[in-house]
Each structure stands twice: as C-alpha cells, then as structure tokens.
Amino acid sequence: MGDSLGKVFRITTWGESHGPSVGVVVEGCPAGVPLTEEDVQTELDRRRPGQSRITTQRKEGDRVRFLSGVFEGKTLGTALAMMVENTDQRSGDYDEMAEVFRPSHADYTYQAKYGHRDWRGGGRSSARETVGRVAGGALAKKLLSTYFGIETLAWVSQVHTLRTSIPPAKVTLEAVEANPVRCPDPVMAPQMLETIEQARKSGDSVGGVISAVVRGCPPGLGEPVFDKLTADLAKALMSIPATRGVEFGLGFQAAEMTGLDHNDPFVLKDGRVATASNRSGGIQGGISNGENILLRVAFKPTATLMVPQKTLNTKGEAVDMKGKGRHDPCVLPRAVPVVEAMIHLVLADHALRAALNRDPGGLAARLKG
C-alpha cells in the first residue's frame, strides 16, 4: 500500500535495484499533454550515476521506454507506464549483504518487516527506485511548465559544513548544472567537490542540504486540513532515501523569531495581492499564496562506507563489514533531480485538484466541450 503517491495525479512505482526493471505508472494526467521519450530521458540522465567521478560509477544506460498511455505524441488521459531495464547489475559485489545488516541501511528493517528481502544492492530500498519517480516527475514537469507556468529548481546548498549564501531568487538552472556538485555558487562548488573527494579517498561519506524554489505557482494549491501543500511536499520529500528533515520558508529559523519579525505584510504588486517579504516561503495556511515556494531538505551522509564498520549478521553475530564495488560518497548532486521530481509530482496533483475548488458552473461548462 506504499508504492503509490498522489490522489488525482498519482504515480505507482515498481522495481528493485537488481531486479529486471524499474518503472512507473502515472494515473490522472489529463489527455492531450505532449510528451516524448526525450522529455523523460533528459531528466533521467540528470539522475544517472557515472556522470563524474564524484558519484557512483555504475554505468546505467537508463533508457526509458514508454509502455502505454501516449499516442501520437500526446497523453491519452489513462494509465501511462514507463520502464527502464536494469542492465548493469554486478550483484556479485553485494553477496555479503545477504548475510550482514549494513549499519544505518534498510537491510535490517526490511528483514524485520517482511521476513524476506532482496538483498542485492538494497533491493527496493535502493536509490535506483527513484528512476520511476524521476520519469513520472518528468511528465508532471511537462504539465506544469506547459500549461500552468510553474517552474521548479533545486540545487545543493550545503555539503558537510560548507554552505552557499546565494539567495534562491538568484539561482539559475545554468548555474546549477555548471558543475558536478550542482551548487550554483562558483566559489563554494569547488570546495564542496574537494570535500566529497576527500570523503571518497578516506572511504567515508558526507551529508548536506538541497534547497529548492518554485516559481510561478498560482495561489490556491494545497487542501485543508491534512493535504496542506507543506504537508504533502514534506511527505513526498521525506520519502526520498537518506532524507532527515524538511523545512519551508525560514523553517527552524522561524522558531527563534517573533511575530513582528516573521509576518509577511500583504501589498499590491502589479495589481495582484502579494507579500512584501516572503518569510512564509510561498505557503500560508497550507495553501500557496502566489509567491515563490521555498524549501530545504536535509540528507544524512551515505551509509555505505569503504572502511570497516562493526555490525551484526543475520544470525546475530558481531562482524566487521566494509563496502565493496561502487561507492557514492555524497548522494546530493544526484538527488537534485529527484527532489525536483517529487515537487513536480505534488504540484501536479494539487494543481489539478485546485481546479475543482470553486466555480461549479465553470466545471460543468467544461463537460459541454
């Protein structure tokens, strides 16, 4: 019951790291949205490992294949399935995982929960599962950018203790993609890269923070009282492997403030209701207010290390284990397109739902078409 996300625009993903394939079914996308495999491939390529020496060296071709739901280049309005075959599976690297619980991995909890697990490369708990999310997110992105004018941009804003101070309003896609760390700060990016390289050399790993901004989101997305936009974004983002926290607007910093310092005064801008400041991060009462949506996601350091760690095996015996094969000392650069995908998926769901909130006469008129 946990492989699906969304109520109207809804995805269901499948796939284990070393199983036959990973994929996604998207339900609820309106008919007529133009979509090519290239639209999806572009996003998958951003997620793919092996793009540089700082990420895991697995060579994943990751060619997406449409299985259903697109005809003559446009969505049909019914289930849209996309798949990527798992081709580069060196599961021999993972044999030890059948017997040993890697510290801070999901090996033990999957075993405790299901009593039967695919230990090869983490199985369903592997970051490879996010391929389906990114594919589904590419369709959501297309829908949002083509019709709603909504654009999302994520970037690495912190690696270990290194932080960029570039304000979200100034971040561009070009600056993000200009370096392998996906940090738009030309000063900090090389230092972050160096930190990641040091972690690789020592067999260690580092965590960090991904920030994101959503531009052009109209007011009205988010549904009281449980499906607030903050709530649904938090869930979607916290479902990404290795996440440990999420915050909106000023986030935890808001906890240290007074109301006079934190409140955003309403003002008119270009004839529309706007806020003079944006400490709320574009969401008030759980509903978008038309300002930029601002959020941050904390990632813990990669659990797999290339140095020995103490742990237990499945018999309960204390053992030392050391990672083998590929090593990804910092997941953040590759997680950037995943963060964007999760935001796109939530916004697509809520953009469609928001169209139903009012003006029942206008809704009825749509059926006369």
Residue closest to 110 by CA, chosen among 348, 333, 314: 314
- Please, what's the b/e burial string for 216-230 (b: 16 or more CB within 10 A of its CB; e: otherwise)? ebebbbbbeeebbbb
Q: Pick between residue 106 and residue 154 the one whose CB is nearest to a second copy.
A: 106
Interface with a second copy in residues 118-157 (CB under 8 A): 118, 123-125, 129, 143, 146-149
Q: Pick between residue 178 and residue 231 the one whose CB is nearest to a second copy.
A: 231
- Stretch touching a second copy by CB under 8 A, among 12-20, 42-50, 88-96, 175-183: 12-20
- Write the binding mask 84 to 113 for a second copy: x where contact by CB under 8 A, - elsewhere: -----------------x-xxxx-xxx-xx
Give the DSSP letter of residue 40: H
With helix as H, strand as E and coil as C, how does 116-179 read?
A: CCCCHHHHHHCHHHHHHHHHHHHHHHHHHHHHHCCEEEEEEEEECCEECCCCHHHCCHHHHHCC
Residue closest to 319 by CA, chosen among 93, 94, 96: 96
Under 8 Å between Cβ of 123 and 262: no
With CB under 8 A as the contact rule, the residue among 63, 160, 324, 326 that binds a second copy is: 160
Burial (Cβ within 10 Å: 0-12, 13-18, ≥19) of residue 73: exposed
Asked if residue 315 binds a second copy (CB under 8 A), the reply is no
Q: Pick between residue 55 and residue 289 the one whose CB is nearest to a second copy.
A: 289
With CB under 8 A as the contact rule, the residue among 165, 170, 224, 270 that binds a second copy is: 224
Asked if residue 169 binds a second copy (CB under 8 A), the reply is no
Under 8 Å between Cβ of 282 and 217: yes
Tokens at 295, concatenated: 């959020």
- Stretch touching a second copy by CB under 8 A, among 41-49, 168-176, 333-341, 350-358: 350-358
Under 8 Å between Cβ of 296 and 210: yes
Q: Report in angstroms how near the CB of residue 305 gets to a second copy at its nearest.
A: 5
Interface with a second copy in residues 27-66 (CB under 8 A): 27-28, 30-33, 65-66
With CB under 8 A as the contact rule, the residue among 49, 121, 136, 301 that binds a second copy is: 301
Q: Pick between residue 61 and residue 172 the one whose CB is nearest to a second copy.
A: 61
Asked if residue 244 binds a second copy (CB under 8 A), the reply is yes
- Stretch touching a second copy by CB under 8 A, among 44-52, 172-180, 181-189, 218-226: 218-226
With CB under 8 A as the contact rule, the residue among 138, 209, 214, 347 that binds a second copy is: 209
With CB under 8 A as the contact rule, the residue among 154, 155, 302, 338 that binds a second copy is: 302
Measure the N-to-C terminal CA separation of the chain; round to a whole number of Å.
Answer: 36
Q: Report in angstroms how near the CB of residue 269 gets to a second copy at its nearest.
A: 11
Q: Round to whole Å and give the CA distance between 264 and 365.
A: 37
Q: Round to whole Å and give the CA distance between 369 and 366.
A: 6
With CB under 8 A as the contact rule, the residue among 288, 341, 343, 344 that binds a second copy is: 288
- Stretch touching a second copy by CB under 8 A, among 35-43, 51-59, 172-180, 242-250: 242-250
With CB under 8 A as the contact rule, the residue among 191, 231, 325, 326 that binds a second copy is: 231
Q: CB-based contacts of 140: which residues, under 8 Å, 6+ apart?
A: 9, 29, 341, 344, 345, 347, 348
With CB under 8 A as the contact rule, the residue among 93, 219, 325, 326 that binds a second copy is: 219
With CB under 8 A as the contact rule, the residue among 223, 334, 339, 340 that binds a second copy is: 223
Residue closest to 335 by CA, chosen among 166, 206, 199: 206
Asked if residue 269 binds a second copy (CB under 8 A), the reply is no
| # residues contacting a second copy (CB under 8 A) | 168
Tokens at 20, concatenated: 């036959």
Q: Pick between residue 65 and residue 172 the one whose CB is nearest to a second copy.
A: 65
Helix axes 229-238, 332-354, angle to 10 degrees: 150
Calculate ∠ Cα 295-289-255, nearest 5°: 45
